[in-house]
Amino acid sequence: MNMRADIAAKAYRGRTASIGFAHGPFVRVDAAPHGGRAIGAPHDEESALRTALASAGQQIATLARTAGGEAAQILEFQVALLDDEDFLDPIHTAILGGTPADTAWTVALNALIAEYDSAPDEYLRARSSDFADLRDRVLRTLDGGEGKVLEIPSGAVVCAEDLPPSQFLEIDWSGGGGLALLRGSPTSHVAMLARAQGVPMVVQLGSVSAAAETALLDGEEATLELDPTSERVGLFQKRRELHRKNRASARAILRRPAPSWAGEKIALLINIQRAEDLDHPDAQYAEGIGLMRTEFLLAGQTGLPDEETQYQVYDSVLRWAGNRPVTIRTFDAGGDKPVPGFTEDGEANPFLGVRGLRLCLKHPDIFSVQLRALARAAVRGNLKVMFPMVTTPEELDAGRCLFAAATEKLQSDGIPAMLPPTGIMVEVPAAALTIERFEASFFSIGSNDLTQYVTACDRSNGSLATLIDPLHPAVLELVGRTVDYGKRAGISVSLCGDMAGDPRCIPALLSCGLRELSVNPSALAQIKQTIDGLSRGGSRD
Amino acid sequence: MLETRKANGEVITGSVRLIHAAGMHARPAVKLTKLAKKFQAQISVRASDAAEWINAKSVSKIMALRAARDSIIEIKASGEDAKAAVAALVALVSADFPDTDQ
């Protein structure tokens, strides 16, 4: 019974980013925006560009109409640029002289982008991302797509070099399917999205050169198999069935009372990116929301969300939670989460740059809109608010000052609002080491960034995966210090990073004294099971 | 602040102080070029004492002016509706690019 012998030639092994199984059509998504475009005669190229510009102009005008406000004005600038003869004439001339349309367009836009990138004025520098957006939109349109959206059949195994979060969100995963990345990292933003939505995902598959009709993606074994034989499909289905049974028993565990360890109750909460994550069938078993990220309000839109839009989202989450606590984290943009018109361009080390609360304090106008929405939401439920990337107590004070001012303004205008308990993410080593200096209402340990900063490993760099170890004694030391201080001072401490959702890390976290963990809804059952197992093991002796 | 004069029978010129807080940025630049395009006349502008005149109908050129707050924008136009064009553009800048349906 040599099972190895019949492993298909087209099998690849990578690393697990999100557990689960997918069997479906194999779809390659290539990053190169203009792969197979045939180049025509100069005259055809010239008219191809004219058509693409007209079509892009219409797309943008439509977007501008629906976006309104500041975004509309910025988009109007793109429309105006598409109607600027001084700018377009040299491009048309170059094309008629024999340069392919996409090359001429890209060269001209890149020159403009470089010019704006080097502008002394921050506002002008920020405009360069508008030009990049316009450049890519026209290139996509030139490629034949009418601003084509990815067309992925339901249940497909999507294979790409890497995938930006915006593209992941464009794909409809409701019919199953999975994601196979040749590069990528389990700690990337896309991986976090995949885990949150329960989409199986394998990264670092190396080179998958073959084309195929169908594929098997096994998020547990971290394998991708192309055009599997019926025998292989049979084996795959057995493994998937086993996994399903395990899930079913996990669900039974979720219905049991809260777990405890060393005689103390362990509170399990969930992390969410957006209100839709609460649709996960396991979410209802959580004791609350330990982390609601808000950066996704900034993405996928053509502009920064206004106060009402934000308030509606926060309010819907608080309504879902009822009396349960909901901790919302203010915008954590920057680092690997750039937001045009908000985050800094061209930082050499964005993870060490103006991100999180630093960025918000730099843009009090944008931050205040969020704080107003949160202060209004605070009267609607059990809301707590936390600031990310805090280094010094002065930053916490500055943030709280803005928060108090926003709340007072609302109240004096007769709008129901209150200042909710305000805490900080503990993720900068300097904050963890001087935790007693922070007069926060609560602490939430962000173990992903804490590990990244303590081990000096960029968490988006896959080749450092073995070094960026959340169980490094230095990381656990800082977790332990924070928990100890919290106990002494009567301030609650929780942990909301990926560590909390990793069964291997649970014994260490419980030993550090943590009694509150926040995990993705899809990890809730497994972590509860893990803690139950540990406490049964502990009660035997 | 508003000063239009007929230079030599054909070219109309005017100048106006840019009071917009952010200077000649995207929104004002789009408004200025949109308005300029409503006229047949050839219209050029320059900021303060720049040597070069640029096409008032080109948004990329207007942005590239990088005219700061309080700089003087000079406008010149030639053609049939040159006078109306200069008057309209001076009015737009001096009124700080209002949101109106022209």
Q: Is residue A125 within 8 angstroms of chain B, CB to CB?
A: no
User: Quick one: fold of A263-534?
Assistant: TIM Barrel (3.20.20)
Percent of all residues in chain A with a pLDDT value above 90, rounded to a whole number: 52
- Better-predicted residue by pLDDT, A79 or A489: A489
Pick A8-33+150-226's CATH classification: 3.30.70.20, 3.30.70.600, 3.50.30.10, 3.40.50.720: 3.50.30.10
- Better-predicted residue by pLDDT, A34 or A157: A157
Cβ contact, residue pair A121, B66, below 8 Å: yes
Tell me which residue in A84, A123, A127 faces B58 most closely, judged by beta carbons.
A84
Q: Is residue A86 within 8 angstroms of chain B, CB to CB?
A: yes
Cβ contact, residue pair B66, A124, below 8 Å: yes
Domain harbouring B52, CATH code: 3.30.1340.10
Cα(A390)–Cα(A73) distance, integer angstroms: 33
Query: How close does chain A come to B58, measured CA to CA in Å?
Result: 5
Cβ contact, residue pair A77, B26, below 8 Å: yes
Tell me which residue in B26, B33, B61 faces A127 most closely, judged by beta carbons.
B26
What is the reported pLDDT for A74? 61
Q: Is residue A76 within 8 angstroms of chain B, CB to CB?
A: yes
What is the reported pLDDT for B47? 86
Q: Is A189 a catalytic residue?
A: yes
What is the reported pLDDT for A180? 95
Q: Which residues of chain B are within 8 Å of residue A121 when distances are taken between CB atoms?
A: 66
Q: Is residue A494 exposed (0-12), middle (13-18) or buried (19+ Cβ within 10 Å)?
A: buried
Q: Which of A159, A360, A457, A496 is catalytic?
A: A496
Q: Which two tokens mark A288?
A: 């609350």
Pseudo-torsion of CA A244, A245, A247, A250, nearest 10°?
180
Tell me which residue in A73, A84, A119 faces B59 most closely, judged by beta carbons.
A84
First to last CA, chain A: 42
Residue written as tokens 């000649």?
A: B24
pLDDT above 80 (res A207): yes
Q: Could you give the angle at which helices A101-117 and A85-96 cross, rounded to 10 degrees? A: 140
Q: Is residue A180 within 8 angstroms of chain B, CB to CB?
A: no
What is the reported pLDDT for A10? 83
What is the reported pLDDT for A195? 78
Q: Which two tokens mark B74?
A: 């000079």
- Number of residues in chain B: 102
Percent of all residues in chain A with a pLDDT value above 70, rounded to a whole number: 88
User: Quick one: fold of A42-142?
Assistant: Enzyme I; Chain A, domain 2 (1.10.274)
CA distances, A145 to each of A61, A138, A149, B52, B85 (Å): 18, 10, 8, 41, 40
| Coil, strand or helix at A457 | coil
The conformation of residue B2, written as its DSSP 8-state character, comes to -
Residue B89 belongs to some domain of the structure: yes
Residue B19 belongs to some domain of the structure: yes
Q: Is residue A122 within 8 angstroms of chain B, CB to CB?
A: no
What is the reported pLDDT for A396? 98
pTM comes to: 0.54
Query: How close does chain B come to A115, measured CA to CA in Å?
Result: 9
* Mean pLDDT score across all residues of chain A: 87
Residue A9 CB contacts under 8 Å (≥ 6 apart), including other chains: none
Q: Which residues of chain A are within 8 Å of residue B66 when distances are taken between CB atoms?
A: 119, 121, 124
Q: Which of A92, A189, A505, A512 is catalytic?
A: A189
Query: How close does chain A come to B83, measured CA to CA in Å?
Result: 23
First to last CA, chain B: 22
Q: What is the mean pLDDT of the segment spanning A90-102?
A: 91
- The count of C-alpha atoms lying within 13 angstroms of the C-alpha of A25, restricted to the half-sphere facing its C-beta, is 10
- The count of C-alpha atoms lying within 13 angstroms of the C-alpha of A114, restricted to the half-sphere facing its C-beta, is 6
Query: How close does chain B come to A45, measured CA to CA in Å?
Result: 23
Cα(A358)–Cα(A332) distance, integer angstroms: 9
Tell me which residue in B22, B60, B66 faces A84 most closely, judged by beta carbons.
B60
Residue B86 belongs to some domain of the structure: yes
pLDDT-derived band at A188, boundaries 50, 70, 90: low
- Report DSSP letters for A319-383, one per residue: HHHTTS-EEEE----BTTB--TTTSPSS-S-GGGSS-THHHHHH-HHHHHHHHHHHHHHHTTSSE
pLDDT above 50 (res A173): yes
Q: Is residue A89 within 8 angstroms of chain B, CB to CB?
A: no
Low-confidence ranges of chain B (pLDDT < 70): 1-9, 22, 49, 100-102
CA distances, A422 to each of A181, A309, A397, A447, A488 (Å): 39, 22, 10, 19, 19
What is the reported pLDDT for B102? 41
Query: How close does chain B come to A84, measured CA to CA in Å?
Result: 5
Query: How close does chain B come to A77, measured CA to CA in Å?
Result: 6
pLDDT-derived band at A279, boundaries 50, 70, 90: confident
Split into its structural domains, chain B has a count of 1
pLDDT-derived band at A451, boundaries 50, 70, 90: very high
Of all helices (H) and strands (E), which one includes residue A456? none
Residue written as tokens 């968490």?
A: A459
Q: Is residue A20 exposed (0-12), middle (13-18) or buried (19+ Cβ within 10 Å)?
A: buried
Residue B57 belongs to some domain of the structure: yes
Residue B102 belongs to some domain of the structure: no
Tell me which residue in B25, B33, B55 faces A80 most closely, judged by beta carbons.
B33
Cα(B42)–Cα(B38) distance, integer angstroms: 11
The conformation of residue A115, written as its DSSP 8-state character, comes to H
Interval A439-448: pLDDT, tens: 999 999 999 9
pLDDT above 80 (res A129): no
Q: Which residues of chain A are within 8 Å of residue B22 when distances are taken between CB atoms?
A: 123
- The identity of residue A502, as a single letter, is D
Measured in whole angstroms, how far is the alpha carbon of residue B47 from the centre of its chain? 9
Q: How many CB pairs under 8 A join A and B?
A: 48
Q: What is the mean pLDDT of the segment spanning A413-422?
A: 95
Domain map of chain A by residue range?
8-33+150-226, 42-142, 263-534
pLDDT above 90 (res A171): no
Cβ contact, residue pair A112, B25, below 8 Å: no
Cβ contact, residue pair B66, A81, below 8 Å: no
A327 in Cβ contact with A386 (< 8 Å) = yes
Q: Is residue A247 exposed (0-12), middle (13-18) or buried (19+ Cβ within 10 Å)?
A: middle
Q: Could you tell me where the DSSP H helices lie in A222-326?
A: 230-254, 307-321
Q: Is residue A74 within 8 angstroms of chain B, CB to CB?
A: yes
Residues of B with active-site annotation? 25
- Report DSSP letters for B43-92, one per residue: EEEEETT-S--EETT-HHHHHHH-PPTTPEEEEEEESTTHHHHHHHHHHH
B31 in Cβ contact with B1 (< 8 Å) = no
Interval A518-534: pLDDT, tens: 999 989 998 998 999 89
- The identity of residue A413, as a single letter, is D
pLDDT above 90 (res A125): no
Cβ contact, residue pair A81, B29, below 8 Å: no
Q: Is residue A87 within 8 angstroms of chain B, CB to CB?
A: yes
Residue of A517, A87, A207 lying closest to B61 (CA atoms) = A87
Residue B31 belongs to some domain of the structure: yes
- CA-based nearest residue in chain A for residue B99: A73
| Coil, strand or helix at B38 | coil
Range of the domain at B48: 3-94
Q: Which residue out of A124, A135, A365 would a mutagenesis test of the B interface target, given it has the greatest number of B Cβ atoms within 10 Å?
A: A124
Cβ contact, residue pair B58, A87, below 8 Å: yes
Residue A391 CB contacts under 8 Å (≥ 6 apart), including other chains: A358, A428, A430, A431
Q: Which two tokens mark A200?
A: 């199986």
pLDDT above 90 (res A220): no
Q: What is the mean pLDDT of the segment spanning A250-261?
A: 87
- CA-based nearest residue in chain A for residue B57: A84
Cβ contact, residue pair A123, B22, below 8 Å: yes
What is the reported pLDDT for A148? 52
Q: Is residue A85 within 8 angstroms of chain B, CB to CB?
A: yes
Cα(A153)–Cα(A172) distance, integer angstroms: 9
pLDDT above 80 (res A216): yes
What is the reported pLDDT for A166? 52
pLDDT-derived band at A539, boundaries 50, 70, 90: very low
Q: Which residue out of B31, B43, B58 would a mutagenesis test of the A interface target, given it has the greatest number of A Cβ atoms within 10 Å?
A: B58
pLDDT-derived band at A489, boundaries 50, 70, 90: very high
pLDDT-derived band at A516, boundaries 50, 70, 90: very high
